Amino acid sequence: MDRRVPRTVIDPKFRQVGFVPPGATPPPARSHSVPNDARSSSELSLSGSSLSPVMIPPPRHASADGLPSVVRSAASPVPIPASPLRRDTVQIPIGSYNPSESLLGSSPMMSPSRQLDAVSEFSDDVPTSARLGRSGSGKFASSFPSSSGEMMTMKITGGGGGGNTPKSSLTTASVVKALPGVSEKDRGALIEVQNEGISKPQKQKTQKLRGVPFKRLSVQRRLPAKESGEAVKPSASSGGALPALKQGKVVKPSSQKKDGPQVTAPVASSEKKVVDRIPDKDRKKDVPHPRMQFDDKHRVEKAKRRAVVNQSEARNRVELFRHLPQYIHGTQLPDLESKFFQLDPMHPSVYKVGLQFLSGDISGGNARCIAMLLAFQEAIKDYSTPPEKVLVRDLTAKIGCYVSFLIECRPLSISMGNAIKFLKNRIAKLPHTLSESEAKSTLISDIDRFINEKIIIADKVIVRHAVTKIRDGDVLLTYGSSSIVEMILLYAHELGKQFRVVVVDSRPTLEGQALLHKLVAKGLNCTYTHINAISYVMHEVTRVFLGASSVLSNGTVYSRVGTACVAMVANAFQVPVLICCEAYKFHERVQLDSICSNELGDPDVISKVPGRNDLNHLHSWADNENLQLLNLIYDATPSDYISMIITDYGMIPPTSVPVIVREYRREHLWI
């Protein structure tokens, strides 16, 4: 408890957000959690990294979230034995790293420069290699022969040691995740454990955020690359890596560390090359591919030739949005439906999902992503490798073909893009030794795990986080219909919090009405209004909860059109804006406006107002070349309107999004 006070003082941003004020009476559940809290905080201080102003350690909220006390008591012992154990396993093999970590930890107010010192203390050559690595592969190669073989090995050990920090904690997280078949209650505990594990790297990361110990960053970055290098060539350490893949990655670091000192200089150099080349390639790969620009006639023609769906381009398009596809709505659906049984390359389940996207039966980021993954799962189940083809390549091509079909039905959301990236990565990393059925079952379980961890459990974690931000007497405003916000509101209501909800809606989708139905049916006190009245209702609102389609790496929130307006007005009225978004929706792309990348909906719905037959002014005018109707689907909310983003890794300010994107991207794809 004592830790919270300094934290609120340290962090003005959060104070502004209006976290639980020191004077407020804590909810009853919190009193239970005090011992747990104290223990975990002392544990934290032991382990060291000073509490960052950026991150709130997740354990607290988890303990305050009103889990049944049985679960809590079951949960609380778990992290405590777990974490020393983890540290032991990690730290024992490498002596050189240990003191530096404790040194890092014991001085919470350490300046970035001292951190740097500490890093260079335990591995002198890391900075140099890191610098070299950053300065491009060519340069590195030229300098490479000049350094001695001994240096080489030292580099590797040093790199391995330096990279351990994130690795170790990540592994604990994945150990927890890897446990199969946990009951629902246990899962709650699991989340806690997971958070416990994750909170540590986060803190280190936030230190980086503040202090820019640049070299350390690059050292840590190198490590996952090294892992991937190993995985690509399983022959090098096939003994260790293969089981490690299956049963979680606990074994992995140790095997790696064993590898490190053992290898002789020439081997090291060859591996070194792999290690250092990959990050460069990766870095280039990191830059997101430019998307298809639909004003590029050449490429559009090409794409059309391949397309399954016959789309006719809409006329009367808005000049500003030439680069986005817009087709005449409703023309493709009957055509595709008729082709359902004769379509050769497409798997029926994928086809079905595509049609559902097209008709708008499935909407919402999570729903679409889950539907797509399940369809892929079906497709993988029915997949058999054609003769003279390799499973990895052929399946990747197949998935790519499915994806392009889905894109034709409706442009992918960023979350779906991430899920696809994950799946392709998993396919690419399938060990060659697996038989086809094994590979398939691995992939199927991987997809299951992705859905479960990244979406379902992540949602639960977010709900627990977000609920701590709802106080009695609050007036919460939400816009449109976000599944996660709905879960938060319903959960807070279940907990017996007294609050009122303002549902803001806008044309043409009017999703808010669906949300309103659900909330009112559960007995929540609701106010319904349209987006124009936002300035009117904002006076009484104390919190704004919004969902997001994606969070981009510059902190921009890409979400349902209108979200930016709501956030802007809230900001003008100094009401905190909380964005709830699963971390798998984060993306490294950046965007400044809502025009460069967006999705165009059916323009005809603009001219028709449902239930208002008197409003048919634009009915006969749609063909006039001077009139365009623009139905944007998304907009980009600038990060300065956002007080906080609630994700499954905790509650972060928008400035920390790139950290999450950068540090956890590997983990996303790895699981």
> Would you tell me which residues interact with other proteins (CB under 8 A)?
318-320, 505-508, 513, 516-517, 520-521, 523-537, 539, 561-562, 564-565, 568-569, 572, 593-595, 598, 606-607, 609, 611-612, 615, 617-618, 621, 624, 626-632, 634-636, 638
Q: For residue 169, which of 84, 109, 111 has the smallest C-alpha distance? A: 84
**Which CB, 392 or 606, lies closer to other proteins?**
606
Rounded to whole angstroms, the maximal C-alpha distance in the chain is: 84
**Which CB, 383 or 634, lies closer to other proteins?**
634
Least CB distance to other proteins at residue 253 (A): 47
CA-to-CA distance for 65 and 76, rounded, in angstroms?
Answer: 13
- Contact call for residues 162 and 216 (beta carbons, < 8 A): yes
**Which CB, 286 or 472, lies closer to other proteins?**
472
Least CB distance to other proteins at residue 605 (A): 9
Least CB distance to other proteins at residue 382 (A): 42
Least CB distance to other proteins at residue 383 (A): 41
CA-to-CA distance for 613 and 608, rounded, in angstroms?
Answer: 8
**Which CB, 638 or 658, lies closer to other proteins?**
638
Question: Distance between the two ends of the chain, CA-based, in angstroms?
Answer: 33
- Contact call for residues 413 and 365 (beta carbons, < 8 A): yes
Least CB distance to other proteins at residue 311 (A): 22
**Which CB, 346 or 524, lies closer to other proteins?**
524
Q: Positive or negative, the Cα torsion across 318, 320, 322, 325?
A: negative
- Contact call for residues 504 and 538 (beta carbons, < 8 A): no
**Which CB, 115 or 607, lies closer to other proteins?**
607
Residue type present at position 164: N
Strands lying side by side in the sheet with 586-587: 586-587, 550-552, 557-560, 634-637
**Which CB, 163 or 562, lies closer to other proteins?**
562
Q: How many CB atoms lie within 10 A of CB 432?
A: 10
CA-to-CA distance for 505 and 520, rounded, in angstroms?
Answer: 15
Least CB distance to other proteins at residue 406 (A): 25
Least CB distance to other proteins at residue 658 (A): 23
Least CB distance to other proteins at residue 620 (A): 9
**Which CB, 165 or 509, lies closer to other proteins?**
509
**Which CB, 107 or 529, lies closer to other proteins?**
529
Least CB distance to other proteins at residue 27 (A): 23
213 burial level (CB within 10 Å; 0-12, 13-18, 19+): buried
The H-or-E segment that residue 332 falls in is helix 332-338
State phi, psi for 246 to the nearest 5 degrees: -80, -45
Q: Reduced to 3 states, what is the DSSP secondary structure of residue 261? A: helix
CA-to-CA distance for 316 and 298, rounded, in angstroms?
Answer: 21
Q: Reduced to 3 states, what is the DSSP secondary structure of residue 250? A: coil
For strands 543-547 and 586-587, give the pairing.
unpaired
